[in-house]
């Protein structure tokens, strides 16, 4: 039986996303994802698939951090972009995120679990929400981009400011979807160690908080884990 992508979404996101989603595209995605989970090792684990949406409601969201696709090695991906479960050694991309956070705001973090960010209104989303073990990009162009585009459109419809942090080439392609003038888009390269000059030094965390304050919104406490 195919996974019903829509049914797995939290009700508040389901209602908002419905107007932006093509049922046929979502149905094909559900069939593909079902087969992948049945026949291969896929990350994140199915119960964590929509953790980002579960932890950050559309009404609460004031920041989007958009990445590429989940970590493809076991024990890392748990449904939040760039985040890993507490106690897990930091992957290279997250080490660079934390290096930039320290250089930008003087905040030092040791745990890679970013649930505390999500609970403050940071939607930690990837452009593609699943991946086959050991095969980065294996679930691209299967329909997830349609879902992440819809999430961006939901946030673009928000009457209050949302700050969009787009990290990496795939994420930066989504900038055109942010059309409301009260929102702010902050782009950077992917924080992967393979791209050392594309992300480090971009100061996204202070820029994000400055944009929130300028709109009368509370800044994110990036030290919260």
Provide the pLDDT for residue 195: 81
Three-state SS annotation for the chain: CCCCHHHHCCHHHHHHHHCCCCHHHHHHHHHHHHHHHHHCCEECCHHHCCHHHHHCCCCCCCEEEEECCCCCCCCCCCCCCCCCCCCCCCCHHHHHHHHHHHHHHCCCCCCCCCHHHHCCCEEEEECCCCEECCECCCCCCCCHHHHHHHHHHHHHCCCCCCEEEEECHHHHHHHHHCCCCCCEEEEECCCCCCCHHHHCCCCHHHHHHHHHHHCCCCCCCCCCC
The residue annotated as part of the active site, out of 69, 104, 149, 210, is 69
Question: Which of the residues in the chain have pLDDT under 50?
Answer: none
Phi, psi torsion values for 124, nearest 5 degrees? -95, 90
Provide the pLDDT for residue 196: 66
Starting at the edge strand found earlier in the chain, the sheet holding 184-188 runs 122-126, 63-67, 163-167, 184-188
Cβ atoms of 3 and 29 within 8 Å: the answer is no
Strand partners, 165: 65, 186
The pTM for the full model equals 0.97
**pLDDT tens figures, 152-166:** 999 999 999 999 999
Class of domain 5-214 as given by CATH? alpha beta
To the query of whether residue 149 is one of the catalytic residues in this protein, the response is no
Provide the pLDDT for residue 203: 98
The fraction of the chain above a pLDDT of 70, given in percent, is: 99
Core vs surface per residue 40-77: b (16+ CB within 10 A) or e: eebbbeeebbbbbbbbbebeebbbbbbbbbbbbeeebb
């Amino acid at each position: 039986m195919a996974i019903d992508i829509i049914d797995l979404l939290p009700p508040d996101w389901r209602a908002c996303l419905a107007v932006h989603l093509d049922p046929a595209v979502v149905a094909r995605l559900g069939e593909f994802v079902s087969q992948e989970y049945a026949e291969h090792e896929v990350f994140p684990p199915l119960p964590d698939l929509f953790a980002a949406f579960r932890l950050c409601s559309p009404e609460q969201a004031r920041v989007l951090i958009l990445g590429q696709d989940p970590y493809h090695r076991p024990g890392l991906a748990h449904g939040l972009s760039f985040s890993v479960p507490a106690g897990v050694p930091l992957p290279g991309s997250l080490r660079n995120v934390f290096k930039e956070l320290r250089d930008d705001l003087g905040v030092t973090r040791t745990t890679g679990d970013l649930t505390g960010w999500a609970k403050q209104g940071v939607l930690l989303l990837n452009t593609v929400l699943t991946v086959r073990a050991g095969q980065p990009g294996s679930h691209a162009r299967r329909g997830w981009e349609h879902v992440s585009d819809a999430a961006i459109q939901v946030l673009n419809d928000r009457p209050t400011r949302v700050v969009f942090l787009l990290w990496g080439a795939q994420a930066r392609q989504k900038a055109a979807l942010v059309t409301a003038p009260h929102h702010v888009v902050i782009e950077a390269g992917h924080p992967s160690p393979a791209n050392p000059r594309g992300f480090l030094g971009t100061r996204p965390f202070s820029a994000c908080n400055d944009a929130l304050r300028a709109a009368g919104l509370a800044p994110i406490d990036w030290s919260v884990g």
